[in-house]
Amino acid sequence: MTWKHICAATELPEGEPVGFKIGDQRIALYKIDDEIFATDDVCSHAFALLSTGFLEGHLVECPLHGAMFDVRDGRCRSGAYKDVRAFKVEIRDREVYVHLDGGPASEDVRDNVTDATP
Ligand code: FES
């Protein structure tokens, strides 16, 4: 687990996701009401970047099939898909640091896939 410097807090626009590539990891940052959150940028369903999706309150909508993830904890709130990882964020001297674990997404995601069949 490592804290990684990502950007200056002032670089993040309010209410719009922004994607970053840190080594092999892609993360998305979200500034909402002056608080900053971080999740995996790649959707848990297929390859689509959440940073190119739409933010509604604390929910980001995947641009490909519309799954919605809560940026505070990564949980899938709409759609029967796995959660994405949410990362701890710290602001130090107005710079954004994210606590990355470097592992594959499947290690941390909670298995909340629901069976849609009756
Ligand atoms: S790729 Fe995100 S919901 Fe399908």
Distance 104 CA to ligand 1 centre (A): 18
Ligand 1, residue 44: give the atom nearest the CA.
2
* Residue 106 pLDDT exceeds 50: no
At 78, is the pLDDT very low, low, confident or very high (cuts 50, 70, 90)? very high
Ligand 1, residue 81: give the atom nearest the CA.
3
DSSP letter string, 2-14 = EEEEEEEGGGSPB
Nearest CA to ligand 1 atom 1: 46
At 109, is the pLDDT very low, low, confident or very high (cuts 50, 70, 90)? very low
C-beta of residue 48 within 8 angstroms of C-beta of residue 38 = no
Superfamily of domain 2-106: Rieske [2Fe-2S] iron-sulphur domain (2.102.10.10)
At 93, is the pLDDT very low, low, confident or very high (cuts 50, 70, 90)? very high
Distance 3 CA to ligand 1 centre (A): 28
Nearest to 53 by CA among 28, 36, 74, 75: 28
Which of 30-34, 39-43, 90-94, 105-109 shows the lowest per-residue confidence on average (mean pLDDT)? Answer: 105-109
Q: What is the helix, strand, coil percentage profile of the chain, to 5?
A: 10, 45, 45
Which pLDDT value is given to residue 1?
67
Ligand 1, residue 43: give the atom nearest the CA.
2
Distance 24 CA to ligand 1 centre (A): 20
Q: What is the pLDDT of residues 27-50, one digit of tens each?
A: 999 999 999 999 999 999 999 999
Higher-pLDDT residue of 114, 100: 100
Which pLDDT value is given to residue 62?
98
Q: Does residue 46 line the site of ligand 1, with CB under 6 A? A: yes
Domain ranges of the chain: 2-106
